Structure 1
Amino acid sequence: MYKGTSAENFFETDAEQAKRTRRAAKSSNKYGDPIVLKSKLLAAIPDPTSPTSLLVAESAGAVRRVNLHTRDTKQVFRGPLTPVTCVAVGGPGGQTVFAGSWDKDVWSWDLASKALARKYSGHSDFVKAVVCTNIGGKECLISGGADKKIMVWDVETGFRLHVLQDQSKTMMAIQHLVIDPVSSGPDAAILVSASSDPHLRRWRIRLDGFEQLKEESPDEPGAVRDTILEHDTTIYRMVFDHEVEEVDLWTSSGDGTAKCLSRLKGFTANDSIQHGDHVRAVVVTDQWVITGGRDEDVKVWDRASGKLYCILEGHYDEVIDLVLLDGGKRVVSVSLDGTVRTWPLDRVGLDKIIKEREDIAKGVEKEVPIEPAKGLMSAEEEAELAALMEDDD
Structure 2
Amino acid sequence: MKFAYRFSNLLGAVYRQGNLNFSKDGNAVVSPVGNRVSVFDLKNNTSETLPISTTKNITCVGLSPDGNLAVVVDEDGAALLVSLITRAILHHFHFHKPVNSIRFSPDGRKFVVTKENVALMYHAPGKQREFNAFVLDKSYYGPYDETTCIDWTDDSKCFVVGSKDMSTWVYGAQRWANLIYYSLGGHKDVIVGCFFEKDSLDLYTVSQDGTLCVWESDTELDGLVLKKSRDKPKPVRQGDEEEDIEEERIEGEEGEVIRGKAETPKEKNVRYRHFFNKEGDFNNLTAAAYHKPTHILVTGFASGIFHLHELPEFNLIHSLSISDQRISSVAINSSGDWIGFGCSGMGQLLVWEWQSESYVFKQQGHFNNMAALAYSPDGQYIVTGGDDGKVKVWNTNSGLCFVTFTEHTSSVTNVTFTSSGFVIVSASLDGTVRAFDLHRYRNFRTFTSPRPAQFSCLSVDVSGELVSAGAQDSFEIFLWSMQTGRLLEVLGGHEGPVSCLCFSPVQSILASASWDRTIRLWDMLDSWQVKETLPLTSDGMSVTYRPDGQELAVATLNGEISFWNPHTATQTGSVSGRHDLEMGRKETDKITAKQSAKGKSFKSLCYSADGESILAGGQSKFVCIYNVKEQMLMKKFEISCNLSFDAMEEFLDRRKMTEFGSLDLVDEGAGDGDGVNISLPGVRKGDMSSRHFKPEIRVSSLRFSPTGRSWAATTTEGLLVYSLDGSLVFDPYDLDLDVTPASIRKQLRLQEWASAIVLAFRLNEKALKQEVLETVPHDQIPVVCGSLPDIYVEKLLGFVAACLEKSGHLQFYMTWAQNLLMLHGQKLKNRFTSGAILPTLQALQKSIKRHFDDLSKLCDFNMYNIRYAEALSKQRGVKRAAEEDKDEEEEEDEELSEEMSEASLDESELIPCGGGAEEAEFEPK
Please tell me the TM-score bracket, short chain as reference. 0.5 to 0.7
Q: What is the correspondence of 1:228-307 to structure 2 with a 5 Å cutoff?
A: 228-233=534-539, 235-242=540-547, 247-263=550-566, 265-274=568-577, 275-276=580-581, 277-285=600-608, 286=610, 287-307=612-632
Stretch deviating more after TM superposition (141-150 or 67-76): 67-76
Q: CA deviation digits over 1:291-329, x for unaligned, max 9?
A: 111123111234454333322112452111111115222
Displacement of 1:25 in angstroms is 5.5
Q: Distance in 2 between matches of 1:142 and 1:326?
A: 22
Do 1:249 and 1:267's aligned partners in 2 also have CA atoms closer than 8 Å? no
**Partner of residue 342 from structure 1, selected from 710, 714, 721:** 721
Displacement of 1:288 in angstroms is 3.0
Look up the match of 2:516. 197
Q: Distance in 2 between matches of 1:256 and 1:314?
A: 19
Matched residue type, 1:341: L
- Indicate the SS of the match to 1:86: strand
Q: Distance in 2 between matches of 1:295 and 1:134?
A: 32
Look up the match of 2:477. 150
Look up the match of 1:124. 452
Look up the match of 2:504. 180
Q: 1:161 to 1:320 in 2, by over 3 A?
A: same
Matched residue type, 1:83: S
Q: 1:98 to 1:299 in 2, by over 3 A?
A: same
Do 1:37 and 1:338's aligned partners in 2 also have CA atoms closer than 8 Å? no
Q: 1:134 to 1:293 in 2, by over 3 A?
A: closer
1:140 and 2:466 correspond: yes
Do 2:562 and 2:571's aligned partners in 1 also have CA atoms closer than 8 Å? no
Displacement of 1:345 in angstroms is 5.7
Q: 1:144 to 1:263 in 2, by over 3 A?
A: closer
- Indicate the SS of the match to 2:550: coil
Look up the match of 1:217. none
Q: CA deviation digits over 1:114-136, x for unaligned, max 9?
A: 2121211115221112222268x
Q: CA deviation digits over 1:128-151, x for unaligned, max 9?
A: 12222268xx92211111121111
- Indicate the SS of the match to 1:213: strand
Task: Give the TM-score taking structure 2 as reference length.
Answer: 0.30
- Indicate the SS of the match to 2:461: strand
Q: Distance in 2 between matches of 1:85 and 1:342?
A: 20
Displacement of 1:197 in angstroms is 2.6
Look up the match of 2:373. 44
Do 2:575 and 2:632's aligned partners in 1 also have CA atoms closer than 8 Å? no
Do 1:344 and 1:350's aligned partners in 2 also have CA atoms closer than 8 Å? no
Q: Distance in 2 between matches of 1:174 and 1:350?
A: 43
Displacement of 1:26 in angstroms is 5.4
- Indicate the SS of the match to 2:401: coil
Q: Distance in 2 between matches of 1:103 and 1:349?
A: 47
Q: 1:305 to 1:77 in 2, by over 3 A?
A: same
Q: What is the correspondence of 1:1-393 to structure 2 with a 5 Å cutoff?
A: 37-48=366-377, 51-90=379-418, 95-122=422-449, 124-133=452-461, 139-146=465-472, 147-166=474-493, 170-182=494-506, 184=507, 189-206=508-525, 209-214=527-532, 227-233=533-539, 235-242=540-547, 247-263=550-566, 265-274=568-577, 275-276=580-581, 277-285=600-608, 286=610, 287-315=612-640, 317-325=697-705, 327-335=707-715, 337-344=716-723
Do 2:418 and 2:462's aligned partners in 1 also have CA atoms closer than 8 Å? no
Q: 1:193 to 1:27 in 2, by over 3 A?
A: farther
Do 2:627 and 2:634's aligned partners in 1 also have CA atoms closer than 8 Å? yes
Do 1:241 and 1:249's aligned partners in 2 also have CA atoms closer than 8 Å? yes
Q: CA deviation digits over 1:235-289, x for unaligned, max 9?
A: 232222236xx72111222221222213465242423242443201122335533
Matched residue type, 1:344: S
Q: Distance in 1 between matches of 2:601 and 2:402?
A: 32
Matched residue type, 1:201: R
Do 1:300 and 1:310's aligned partners in 2 also have CA atoms closer than 8 Å? yes
Larger relative contact order (CA 8 Å, sep ≥ 6): 1
Q: 1:159 to 1:349 in 2, by over 3 A?
A: farther
Q: Distance in 1 between matches of 2:534 and 2:57?
A: 39
Displacement of 1:346 in angstroms is 7.8
Displacement of 1:59 in angstroms is 0.9
Displacement of 1:106 in angstroms is 0.8
Q: Distance in 2 between matches of 1:333 and 1:90?
A: 20
Matched residue type, 1:325: S
Q: CA deviation digits over 1:192-235, x for unaligned, max 9?
A: 111223210111124x8321124xxxxxxxxxxxx2113412x2
Do 1:65 and 1:75's aligned partners in 2 also have CA atoms closer than 8 Å? yes
Do 1:38 and 1:338's aligned partners in 2 also have CA atoms closer than 8 Å? no
Look up the match of 1:13. none
Q: Distance in 2 between matches of 1:194 and 1:130?
A: 12
Matched residue type, 2:719: V
Aligned-residue sequence identity (percent) comes to 18
Q: CA deviation digits over 1:39-72, x for unaligned, max 9?
A: 2111111124x52321111111111112233120
Q: Distance in 2 between matches of 1:350 and 1:65?
A: 31
Look up the match of 2:825. none
- Indicate the SS of the match to 1:251: strand
Question: Unaligned stretches of 5+ in structure 1?
Answer: 1-23, 30-34, 215-226, 352-393
| Structure number with higher strand proportion | 1
Matched residue type, 1:194: A
Task: Give the TM-score taking structure 1 as reference length.
Answer: 0.67
Q: 1:264 to 1:83 in 2, by over 3 A?
A: closer
- Indicate the SS of the match to 2:528: strand
Moved over 6 A (4+): 346-351
